[in-house]
Structure 1
């Protein structure tokens, strides 16, 4: 007997949990059956779920179990995981031990809750009866007792001597991490070494498999047909995987379809990822603010400031569009948005831009003239008359570079892992040192200003580095400019937390760490902990270490 299982944790209550987990959509779709129910083990916060919500799911053969005690036990046993994994990945590491104890000796099919099968689970069980291994990120894992035993042994080895295990597995890092720091890193490394864990699922060739529909061409090749029956090239889709960026894409499309507004006829509507960074269209501005910053009132103000438009008074309807539950209901249950899979939309490289033929040709010429770029690096603007140097790296997540005018220089040194927007205008210079990592950073250099960032720096999400103001200010009597742009210099091995703003003229010494939401304006020494608004040194001669174990020795004289 095969058991379909998943895991989850609850932070606030039923409503907030449902907004992200979309279990009511699973219930409505009726894929779980009396013979093959879906068992979900709640690792934390089970007591926050309300009984009517649980009863509704049970009626659809979706059962939630309180696994908090078991989770507490395994958490205590594996405290060492906290030395190199963040809290989210610790939960992911431990979920397999919880499942093993809750379902001893059973063959399990673990699925992510953002995965929605088209056939019911009886049929899925038959389809996967002879399969083993994982699929995707993984969104499906066939966890036999032997698979769980090997996994447990390897986690123990990871804790006792991670460098030795990584060397044995020839682990060369991922896009996001240099070391094994998640269960996904570990299982995929084990699968690559034949004979340790089974490799990717096999035996399902009669079905179209889209691990992420946004990557359709990479998985399927160009399909010859798409029909209303959810077939690609004559093969039915086995499941829809509403991964974050695909769900976000559908929400963005819904925003455009649901809330029409006046716009110039030739304005571009760019929906491809990364959204806001590639085009400051009203749609992408709205999406960026809702998804990253949140709040309808803030959206109203920014939309008015940026586009001179006023949004309809729709209250929290915008917020609703960006929950996975709403997207899943629209896409899975109601069958909306299938038009994106037509050839004209989906497979044409210009499909995400509404533009005239001349504009498309101009864009293609720009691309042809641009330097050869690593994967996930995008350049917009006229590259002629500018210098763009991107040294080799296969770790970039989404690096968007925009140049305006001529005489600009953008240099990104080797082995960086950047999710960032770099804007260089009016002869500006931006340079980022080797092995630096960024997770949602915006750097804007204008009027010939210069931004230099050292090697091995770590930047968290929503960090803004602004070298010039968006306006010019003059003394009313003398006419002299009083807010000229100023350079920013960040030395090697600097950590900057989320929501930090680095103002023009800042210097941050080597090895310093900046706490979240700080506003920096001035010079800061090396080896210091910096915090506050305005930011100041709150502790000198510190060391900082990332959760993946990359330590920075900051007590050297150069850091004092």
Structure 2
């Protein structure tokens, strides 16, 4: 990691970054407002899709050969993230944020968020504890870091904390202040500390009911479509295989290519997750 810090606070700064790969440019619909990006290393890759709207973002590469890959959305992206050596922060398309999420992928693990995520206020995630814990009997480390996966169309409630090893299946809901450390199946709701599944076979829609009239409430009592009901099919990805594939990458460019394989996996059920064993 180099001691020289390179920074981006406006689009024009992107062209000045050296020894890192940057795709951040003004384009139709794009915004880069009250945001900054800092490089504390080399070999990193920043990809911000054309048309993305970044607001109140603070992105930091805290080492070498890491990746931040952000897809565009009609809504604002608001993220505070420190990405360490050989790690990835991946954000799928059409995400929304109530306030900046705080995300820290480290120790060569990753935070992966699928498309159409709805992320509420003060959400945080990290892949490490981050300090070392050992067994008194064996003196072996017992707290390895692990990646965090969030599927498509997930609703992450206020002050949710996603810790290492959390895997959230597509279509699921995490209640306010849930602390998640394990797998939540698709089309489930989970809540509590630690989070437990409290509802199965549910799905959710984006419209907010706060200002609903009586007529709107009555109309909302039933929704006939299966748009957000997820099942296993031929498009479902094997997350363990994906993690094995990315573990063999040695450069930021190889990790960015892996991110593009996620971009190209368009199947509705790509991040379906069942009940873990």
Q: Please indicate the TM-score interval, normalised by the length of the shorter structure.
A: 0.5 to 0.7
Give the structure with the larger strand fraction: 2
- 1:363 shift after superposition: 5.1
- Given that 2:67 and 2:89 are in contact with CA atoms closer than 8 Å, whether structure 1 keeps it comes out as yes
Question: What does residue 188 of structure 1 align with?
Answer: none
Give the structure with the larger helix fraction: 1
- Aligned residue for 2:115, secondary structure, equals coil
Larger Rg: 1
Q: TM-score, normalised by structure 2?
A: 0.65
- Given that 1:420 and 1:440 are in contact with CA atoms closer than 8 Å, whether structure 2 keeps it comes out as yes
CA distance in 1, matches of 2:45, 2:128: 20
Matched, 1:369 2:17: yes
462 and 365 in structure 1: CA distance in 2 versus 1, 3 angstrom threshold: closer
CA distance in 2, matches of 1:396, 1:465: 19
Question: What does residue 539 of structure 1 align with?
Answer: 199
- Given that 1:543 and 1:553 are in contact with CA atoms closer than 8 Å, whether structure 2 keeps it comes out as no
- Aligned residue for 1:451, secondary structure, equals strand
Q: Which runs of 5+ in 2 are unaligned?
A: 26-30, 210-222, 233-271
Question: What does residue 256 of structure 2 align with?
Answer: none
Counterpart selection for 1:412 from 53, 70, 86:
70
CA distance in 2, matches of 1:365, 1:496: 29
Residues 512-551 of structure 1 aligned to structure 2 (within 5 Å):
512-547=172-207
Residues 239-388 of structure 1 aligned to structure 2 (within 5 Å):
367=13, 368-369=16-17, 371=22, 372-373=24-25, 374-376=31-33, 377-382=35-40, 384-388=42-46
- Given that 2:82 and 2:103 are in contact with CA atoms closer than 8 Å, whether structure 1 keeps it comes out as yes
Counterpart selection for 1:425 from 75, 84, 96:
84
> Highest relative contact order (Cα 8 Å, sep 6+), 1 or 2?
2
- 1:542 shift after superposition: 1.1
CA distance in 2, matches of 1:519, 1:382: 31
- Given that 2:174 and 2:191 are in contact with CA atoms closer than 8 Å, whether structure 1 keeps it comes out as yes
Residues 57-136 of structure 1 aligned to structure 2 (within 5 Å):
none
How far does the alpha carbon of each residue in 1:54-110 deviate from its partner, in whole angstroms, 9 at most, with x for none?
xxxxxxxxxxxxxxxxxxxxxxxxxxxxxxxxxxxxxxxxxxxxxxxxxxxxxxxxx
CA distance in 2, matches of 1:536, 1:462: 20
- Given that 2:171 and 2:230 are in contact with CA atoms closer than 8 Å, whether structure 1 keeps it comes out as no
Question: What does residue 453 of structure 1 align with?
Answer: 113
553 and 529 in structure 1: CA distance in 2 versus 1, 3 angstrom threshold: farther
Counterpart selection for 1:440 from 80, 83, 100:
100
- Given that 1:417 and 1:435 are in contact with CA atoms closer than 8 Å, whether structure 2 keeps it comes out as no
556 and 388 in structure 1: CA distance in 2 versus 1, 3 angstrom threshold: closer
- Aligned residue for 2:112, secondary structure, equals strand
How far does the alpha carbon of each residue in 1:492-523 deviate from its partner, in whole angstroms, 9 at most, with x for none?
00000111111110110000011111111111
- 1:400 shift after superposition: 1.5
- 1:553 shift after superposition: 3.4
CA distance in 2, matches of 1:468, 1:556: 30
- 1:414 shift after superposition: 2.2
Question: What does residue 553 of structure 1 align with?
Answer: 227
486-495 or 405-414, which deviates more:
405-414
411 and 556 in structure 1: CA distance in 2 versus 1, 3 angstrom threshold: closer
- Given that 1:507 and 1:524 are in contact with CA atoms closer than 8 Å, whether structure 2 keeps it comes out as yes
The RMSD of aligned alpha carbons is 2.7
How far does the alpha carbon of each residue in 1:239-283 deviate from its partner, in whole angstroms, 9 at most, with x for none?
xxxxxxxxxxxxxxxxxxxxxxxxxxxxxxxxxxxxxxxxxxxxx
- 1:395 shift after superposition: 2.8
Counterpart selection for 2:166 from 472, 486, 506:
506
- Given that 2:5 and 2:38 are in contact with CA atoms closer than 8 Å, whether structure 1 keeps it comes out as no
Question: What does residue 114 of structure 1 align with?
Answer: none
- Number of residue pairs matched? 200
- 1:394 shift after superposition: 4.5
420 and 557 in structure 1: CA distance in 2 versus 1, 3 angstrom threshold: same
Question: What does residue 497 of structure 1 align with?
Answer: 157
CA distance in 1, matches of 2:116, 2:193: 26
- 1:424 shift after superposition: 0.6
Q: TM-score, normalised by structure 1?
A: 0.33
CA distance in 1, matches of 2:93, 2:72: 5
362 and 532 in structure 1: CA distance in 2 versus 1, 3 angstrom threshold: closer
386 and 364 in structure 1: CA distance in 2 versus 1, 3 angstrom threshold: closer
- 1:362 shift after superposition: 6.2
Question: What does residue 390 of structure 1 align with?
Answer: 48
Q: Which runs of 5+ in 1 are unaligned?
A: 1-358
